[in-house]
Amino acid sequence: MKKLKIFSLILLTAATTSCSDFLTEMPNGAIPQDDAIKTLDDCDAAIIGIYSTFKSSALYSGYMTQLPDIQADLAYLSLSNTGVFADIYRWNINPSTAQITSIYSALYQVISRCNFFFDYADRVRETLTTESEIKTFEKRIGDAYFARALAYSELIRHFCEAYTEENADDENSGVSLALSYVNNPKAIKRSTLRESYAQVISDLENAEKYIPTDRAVADSEYFSPGAVNALQSRIYLYIGEYQKSVDAATQVIKSGIYELAEAVYPTSTGYSEYGNMWVYDSSDEIIWKIAMTTTDRGGALGKIFLNYNGATYSPDYVAPNTILDLFGDTDYRYPYFFSDITAADGTQPTVIRKYIGNPNIDAGSTKYFTNMPKVFRLSEVYLNRAEAYYNLGNTTSALADLTSIRRKRLQGYGSAGGSGEAVMQEIKEERIRELFMEGFRLSDLKRWGDEIIRKKQIYTIDGNNENQLNIKPTDAAYRFTTWPIPQHEIEASNNVVVGNKSNY
């Protein structure tokens, strides 16, 4: 008799339900679970489903990229704001905030797809007879391990406190580690932070074993050894394993596969190499990007910053002066990130144009403001290594990494200098410039223990002093730098899953 659980090769439709619900939710048009993954072709279809989930507008092409930077200090609520993300901007966050619960659910969708694949991988392995089949199968295994590691790492980054040796073993400080689709209990208690990061590291080690070296190319739409090492450099930095972060980053940098994009010299497209990366989503600096087409888009990262209807602009968010002032006159990133416009209401703000839309995706009469998310870039790897070097006391190497980035981004740049804490401040400011509106800001401030500051400026709403924010780590509001566990997740588990401080 067939099991009652059924599963589609599309592997779970997008829905805002709890992790616990994902373990038993049955999609429409599904097939019997025992028939879902039996062949190598089934494995291919399952992995395609895993890749496709990352296109969700709740993840890199939408909320998970936009909200952390908007909640922090990289974009200000404009006079023409229509209410988009206004509660999050105002720190009116609760366990039922729709966008945050969507992020949580979408990440667990990725994990559930991976777990389902692993549950049936062994029976497919037994059917393989040729070396070519085995290599293809192992490549799919590597994809699933990396996808699960990435999803868990993002859950930890957004829904857990910053890692310290003091809190690493605290009960319920990590995430719910679901490692099987078929055999998981409905309610999974949260692990510790140490256990959660250990799972990510273990999955990355397995991914490194199975992802083939022929994937080691730049500007890739597939998981690669470079992507594994890039995520390792990030994870080891976050948990204070600084030498391991340096080692992983060095593997990416020394591979010679990736190259920092030159921002100074124009190409035949009329853009610099750096500009080409942000307009046409193509560059040898890109380690992994999420593929999109005119018929298969994710979210629209740039819409809220421009809201252009073909005639006028009505931006929901504008660029803050505190950030604009960090870009000097010789910084060639500036024109790819910002523009001065006259809005529909007659104001003249500086708007964020970083995600102006890839013409090859936004083709047609409708402007979607869609760009392919560039989840891993070489510049982040350099910044990870610079910060790790600093924490190891090697400021010379940290400054050398900053120099490498700036010589590609600034006209006539010489060498970075400084000593002591001033070097760390340089690293922090370079992360703002280089990773602007890529979703890192809130978690960066949280792991550094820095206050969140906004200052009043023209063309922004200030009825409730939203743009004069000053939240210190000792303030009660700081707990919202860690997002609340969704209320439906807690209720579905009968309170086995415990919330964060921000839940209460």
pLDDT category at 219 given cuts 50, 70, 90 is: very high
Check pLDDT > 60 for residue 28.
no
Is residue 173 situated within a structural domain? yes
Amino acid at 433: R
Is residue 491 situated within a structural domain? yes
| Structural domain range at position 153 | 1-76+89-199+473-504
pTM of the complete model beyond 0.95: no
Check pLDDT > 70 for residue 19.
no
Q: Measuring CA to CA, how many Å separate 38 from each of 105, 110, 277, 291, 467?
A: 27, 20, 40, 27, 56
pLDDT at 464: 55
Q: pLDDT tens digit string along 63-73?
A: 999 999 999 99
pLDDT at 106: 98
Across 3-12, 23-32, 74-83, 276-285, least confident range: 3-12
Q: How many domains does the chain have?
A: 1
Query: Average pLDDT of 429-439?
Result: 98
Is residue 383 situated within a structural domain? no
Check pLDDT > 70 for residue 284.
yes
pLDDT category at 97 given cuts 50, 70, 90 is: very high
Check pLDDT > 90 for residue 370.
yes
Q: What is the mean pLDDT of the chain?
A: 91
Q: pLDDT tens digit string along 151-183?
A: 999 999 999 999 999 999 999 999 999 999 988
Is residue 106 situated within a structural domain? yes
Q: At what angle do helices 98-125 and 40-53 cross, to 10 degrees?
A: 170
pLDDT category at 368 given cuts 50, 70, 90 is: confident
| CB distance 382 to 249 below 8 Å | yes
pLDDT category at 367 given cuts 50, 70, 90 is: confident
Is residue 62 situated within a structural domain? yes
Is residue 359 situated within a structural domain? no
Is residue 433 situated within a structural domain? no
Question: CA 85, CA 102: separation in Å to the nearest integer?
Answer: 13
Is residue 330 situated within a structural domain? no
pLDDT at 33: 62
CATH code, 194: 1.25.40.890
pLDDT at 400: 98
Question: CA 418, CA 396: separation in Å to the nearest integer?
Answer: 9
Q: pLDDT tens digit string along 235-267?
A: 999 999 999 999 999 999 999 999 999 998 776
Question: What letter would DSSP give residue 292?
Answer: -
pLDDT at 173: 98
* Selected residue with higher pLDDT from 327 and 29: 327
Question: CA 407, CA 427: separation in Å to the nearest integer?
Answer: 15
Check pLDDT > 50 for residue 398.
yes
